[in-house]
Copies of this chain bind each other. A is one copy, B any other.
Amino acid sequence: MKLVVINPNTTDEMTAVIATAARSVAPSGAEVVAVTSSMGPASIESHYDEALAVPGVLDAIAAHPDADGYLLACFGDPGLDAARELAAAPVLGIAEAAMHLAAPLGRGFSVVTTLSRTIGRAHDLVGHYGFGRQCLGIHACEIPVLELESRPDTADVLAKACAEALVADGSDAIVLGCAGMADLARRMSAEIGAPVIDGVAAGVGMLAAMAAMGLRTGTSSGEFARPPAKTYSGVLGGFGLGGGMPSRSSDQH
């Protein structure tokens, strides 16, 4: 079983965090390939960043065509529908995966994310995936993505935000709203005494289950069939599917 975990931003250090989290829960025998995006933003903290992270996500999928599952390791789940058209194997976003595992763990969960300007996107995803009843609140700890690893007080600030969310929302679980928090889930859980779900681990677990069951994205409605071939131009000229999409540099860890 080969699972490809894609960091949609271009920061290798964050890919390393993600890779460790993914491997810590992968079933024995599963290979986890962690990929850093080859283009776009160094971190994703706006709709603008997220939109421009999508080409790198699609490029990474095209560069690793033989996986049994793909995980998009950014809480905005950038390019998820496009990725499903492109990939032969199932694709999950970490927001999606985290919510699917959090929902059965109690009455409802709270999301704790990085900057408050990303709350809107999280709210849209909650609605789209169908967790409007279970998601009881979305909160920001106001630490920028790339400072999560470097700031000495990250764990303290995040634990405080998680504990406060639990009380404010009356929730039973916390969903971490950024792939850069993946290494903190167990520590947060121990500190607040409640389940804390990291989407990277959740996504690996769900993809492993799908792979064991032999499941792939369905194409019978036609929506997720391979996209029609056509001409692409400009700096995105290489994305035209007709003549085969050339891969660009893709770091593997």
- List B contacts of A119 (CB < 8 A): 223
A213, B231: Cβ atoms under 8 Å? no
B236, A46: Cβ atoms under 8 Å? no
Number of copies of this kind of chain in the complex:
6
| A28 on interface, CB distance cutoff 8 Å | yes
B28, A107: Cβ atoms under 8 Å? no
Report the bound CA distance from A42 to B212 in whole Å: 31
For chain A, the count of residues having a C-beta within 8 Å of the partner chain is: 109
- List B contacts of A37 (CB < 8 A): 234
Report the bound CA distance from A213 to B104 in whole Å: 14
A56, B234: Cβ atoms under 8 Å? yes
A82, B215: Cβ atoms under 8 Å? no
- List B contacts of A49 (CB < 8 A): 227, 230
Q: List 7 A-B contacts (CB under 8 A).
A: A41-B240, A116-B222, A117-B225, A120-B223, A172-B224, A202-B209, A205-B213
List which A89-122 residues lie within 8 A (CB) of chain B. 90-92, 96, 100-101, 103-109, 116-117, 119-121
Report the bound CA distance from A220 to B221 in whole Å: 30
- List B contacts of A130 (CB < 8 A): 103, 129-134
Report the bound CA distance from A208 to B90 in whole Å: 19
- List B contacts of A186 (CB < 8 A): 214
B124, A128: Cβ atoms under 8 Å? yes
| A67 on interface, CB distance cutoff 8 Å | no
| A161 on interface, CB distance cutoff 8 Å | no
Can you name the residue of chain B whose Cβ is closest to the Cβ of A10? B233
Contact A106 B221, CB 8 Å, known A42-B231, A46-B85, A85-B47: yes
